[in-house]
Amino acid sequence: MPVITCVEDLRRLAKRRVPKMFYDYADSGAWTESTYRANETDFGRIKLRQRVAVDMRDRTLASTMIGIPVAMPLALAPTGLTGMQHADGEILAARAAAKAGVPFTLSTMSICSIEDVAENTNAPFWFQLYVMRDKVFVERLIDRAKAAQCSALVLTLDLQILGQRHKDIRNGLTAPPRMTVPNIINLATKPRWCLDMLRTKRRTFRNIAGHAEGVTDLSSLSAWTAEQFDPALSWDDVKRIKDRWGGKLILKGILDAEDAVKAAESGADAIIVSNHGGRQLDGALSSIAALPAIVAAVGDRIEVLMDGGVRSGQDVIKAVALGARGVFIGRAFLYGLGAGGEAGVTKTLEVIRKELDITMALCGLRDIQRVDGNIIAENPFAVR
């Protein structure tokens, strides 16, 4: 792997190594992608206070997320088709996260199944659940996550219907890719990816195939998936899922203070301020812009986490300063995975950890748990 100085270096490398339809799936948003872009750029509008002549020795980034010790306030977000960025991608990312001392979250729409990850890693992981029309399938998913000893359930609330993602439509996204002429031509330029994929048996949605009734091949899987996201999702569903799960529950996709209040009343352990990476409602607030109002509304009642646009350790510390207990990274680790497999994800985490540590020191602090709004010099998103 060439010299890597930042997550952007990994993004460029991943773009060269990952087939176009899967790179575009990770690195894109809905409609005009304005919210997708704002997730990143809005972090740059927040300015930090530099402090000098303070003791910077003996720094620590150790914290907790939902009461679980973490080496830094960061987790790997649930991302669909992770195993198409690199063969066995979910397993490799989970291993890298375990080595770094941070949680890994497996998506319902993963390529490697719950059982695949549990059997090939030595650390507990979190599982993300979508609410499907097929309630029996959802209950079985929850039970499978329990059997795999997943330590938290992340329930995604903002995908009742699928946002319009133009790149996926143009690319004819499928997993595995259909052997069309454009796909064959593109795959021919990605020999390393193809060779790795030939060596694995994990090439489709293994949490679904063989588990959902009537899903026997790629065609039936595609049809089942397209009709399964439940537009009737309600807070009653949250209660039902919470009761069946019985463990730590995180609600993902909160972007409005009124919804945050309802989430706090639901009995969940935490919420994730998230706009699904800008992949659902284009024109919505960026996650970091929405964070302060949500913290003001419920920060004393429920743990607040966030995701969306985090590409550096500086982004992490800004989110923490604005009230997030921790952040999730999605695209940042996918870039690392596409660039170099497990080693690439490890490099992503090393880069972010180093940036976070240096930034904290230059802001005059030694303990991440003491970071608060005092390190912010300028915040256009402050609650007035």
In a domain, 1, yes or no: no
Q: Which residues constitute the domain of residue 100?
A: 7-378
CATH code for position 177: 3.20.20.70
Sign of CA dihedral 218, 131, 106, 119: negative
In a domain, 384, yes or no: no
In a domain, 34, yes or no: yes
In a domain, 282, yes or no: yes
Q: What amino acid positions are annotated as catalytic residues?
A: 276
**Per the annotation, does 35 bind a ligand?**
no
DSSP of 63-89: EEETTEEESSSEEEPP-TTGGGTSTTH
In a domain, 138, yes or no: yes
**Per the annotation, does 63 bind a ligand?**
no
In a domain, 280, yes or no: yes
In a domain, 61, yes or no: yes
Pairing of strands 303-307, 270-273: parallel
- Tally the domains of the chain: 1
Give Cβ neighbours of residue 205 (< 8 Å, ≥ 6 apart). Answer: 109, 110, 111, 175, 221, 225
**Per the annotation, does 166 bind a ligand?**
no
> Which residue, among 279, 271, 262, 259, has the nearest Cα to 334 in the 3D structure?
279
pLDDT by position in tens, the chain (length 384):
789 999 999 999 999 999 999 999 999 999 999 999 999 999 999 999 999 999 999 999 999 999 999 999 999 999 999 999 999 999 999 999 999 999 999 999 999 999 999 999 988 999 999 999 999 999 999 999 999 999 999 999 999 888 889 988 888 888 788 888 989 999 999 999 999 999 999 999 999 988 888 776 556 666 777 788 889 999 999 999 999 999 999 999 999 999 999 999 999 999 999 999 999 999 999 999 999 999 999 999 999 999 999 999 999 999 999 999 999 999 999 999 999 999 999 999 999 999 999 999 999 999 999 999 999 999 999 998
> Which residue, among 200, 6, 235, has the nearest Cα to 120 in the 3D structure?
200
In a domain, 235, yes or no: yes
